[in-house]
Amino acid sequence: MATLAQYYTIILKKIMRSCTKLAILAPLLFVTVCSKPPQKKNVLFILIDDFGYNDMSFRNSSFYETPNIDQLAKESTVFNEGYANSRVCSPSRASIMTGKFTARHGITDWIGAPTGKEWRKKGRFSKLLPPKYIKNLPIENITLAEALKQSGYSTFFAGKWHLGEEGSWPEDHGFDINIAGFGAGSPPGGYFSPFNNPKLKDNIEGENLSMRLAEETAKFIKKNKEKPFFAFLSFYAVHGPIQTTQNKWQKYREKAKENGIRNSGYAMGHFLPIRQVQDNPIYGGLVENMDDAVGHILSSLEEMGLDKNTLVVFTSDNGGVASGDNYSTSNLPLRGGKGYQFEGGIKEPYFIKAPWIKNTIKETNIPVTGADLYPTILDLVDAKLMPEQHIDGLSLKSVIQGDSLEERSLIWHYPHYGNQGGEPSSIIRKGKWKMIHYYEDKRNELYNLEQDQAEKNDISLENKALTKSMLNELFNYLDNVGAKYPVKDSSYDQNLEQNYLNKIATEKLRHLEIERLKILEPNFKPNNDWWGSQITKD
């Protein structure tokens, strides 16, 4: 016959196997058995490409419809002063992966952009030649994915990578699984299958790329839901070539008509025209297609019972494309867009949802960047921080809990011209002050962003001491990290450049206005048959 002690041991083992929480009272014995051991938190990182600060209906856009993103914003801490670390994609993505500002990790332009004398082939007749930059994510970095792997996470990547050629793909930087991520910066086959992507198999002809990436991410999560996972969903959307279904084009054409179609939609910038109105029905449909896919992955989390235990990060890699590329959107009242040194080029949607933290604040105006996401994610899931790696980033956990953050300087370095019309320059922001240093003529601009988000009033001359102090701090940082700078082009001809700019301000501007109205005509058809697919979820 079993002794009393043996009897209680048998009962305890049965209770532990059944994972039932009970209190057992016996002579001289009181034991509490918990249902399950503490679970590690999961991470879902959603990165949108070229998605502007005002490309969401929750930001009071009267044109775009983003109900799923809007709902995520309601459930998150919204960082109103959230920034990408660059005005173009590859540098920003490298900063997310490394926790470093761009001048430090060395990827300062989109990978593939020409440098030095090769820049002359662009036919821009510029004063400067842009410097060389690193073209593969440096292997010596411990990426965010590698840091989470060291903490026991299964890691997954889907979508746009653009951080180097083969040998520097997601699987080379800590991701167990890579779907669709390789060297390209835009979807090579567009947004409908066949995708022409070496890392993504085609299923059904006409399948929508954004939804496919969300579905692949959901499949990974379902297979790995019993252990902690890090899923990085990096949409190619809403990068060009912009495409959508015929139904969504029709929907947004009607919205543009209801809002009132303007005769003019552009204004001339320094090098290129800049879009001034949100009325592109193709882009509107592409945004909604992407929002549908965001809704799919978020609802999948909920259906699997993982929404309460999964950290969700949502952001973009640079501003909306208002100039160059597809001239897709307007970022007004923010100035400029992708490729520009102004707020429209670097200010981003930036949400963090940590459902297990009680009483999180709904929004904050503390300036933050993509480099902060590395330490923030580690901190929120109780993983070990790596301050020697994410050296320019700070954990925002305390901010989410309602505390302040010590004022610091944020640095951007873009010594290139790019495709969208921005000027080679570096930026420092400290508190409400933003200073821009231009490399063509060494001038500086100073803005008070609390009073002038549109950056209309340069107050550097009225604040010479502050401007000089911020300039010194900027270059102390840049020089200390070995930043590279542009050099004068000995072949520069002012007359050639002026002729080029005159042509842009007349012929190019006129062509853009014609094309803008053309896609709003009732009989518009795209040059190819990409909208012939009706299998996407309208």
What are 462-483's pLDDT values in tens digits? 999 999 999 999 999 999 999 9
Instruction: Please say if the pLDDT value at position 13 is more than 50.
Output: no
- Determine the average pLDDT of the residues in 240-255: 95
What letter would DSSP give residue 273?
A: E
Distance CA 319, CA 412 (A): 14
Instruction: Please say if the pLDDT value at position 24 is more than 50.
Output: no
pLDDT of res. 397: 97
Residues in the chain: 538
Q: Residue ranges per domain, the chain?
A: 4-33, 42-406+487-532
State the average pLDDT for the chain: 91
Instruction: Please say if the pLDDT value at position 171 is more than 70.
Output: yes
Closest CA to 290 of 532, 528, 84, 69: 69
- Determine the average pLDDT of the residues in 189-209: 95
**Cβ atoms 533, 192 nearer than 8 A:** yes
Instruction: Please say if the pLDDT value at position 537 is more than 60.
Output: no
Identity at 331, one-letter amino acid code: N
Query: Where does the pLDDT of residue 9 fall: very low under 50, low under 70, confident under 90, or very high at 90 and above?
Result: very low
- 3-state DSSP percent of the chain in helix, strand and coil, to 5: 35, 15, 50
pLDDT of res. 532: 60
Q: What is the pTM of this model?
A: 0.91
What are 95-112's pLDDT values in tens digits? 999 999 999 999 999 999
In CATH, the architecture of 42-406+487-532 is: 3-Layer(aba) Sandwich (3.40)
**Cβ atoms 402, 361 nearer than 8 A:** yes
Distance CA 396, CA 375 (A): 8
Query: Distance from CA of residue 205 to its chain's centroid?
Result: 29
What are 68-88's pLDDT values in tens digits? 999 999 999 999 999 999 999
**Residue 380, H or E segment:** helix 373-380
- Which stretches does DSSP call E strand in 296-347? 310-316
Angle separating helix axes 373-380 and 89-98, nearest 10 degrees: 40
pLDDT of res. 529: 64
Instruction: Please say if the pLDDT value at position 538 is more than 80.
Output: no
Distance CA 173, CA 140 (A): 10
What are 395-438's pLDDT values in tens digits? 999 999 999 998 999 999 999 998 999 999 999 999 999 999 99
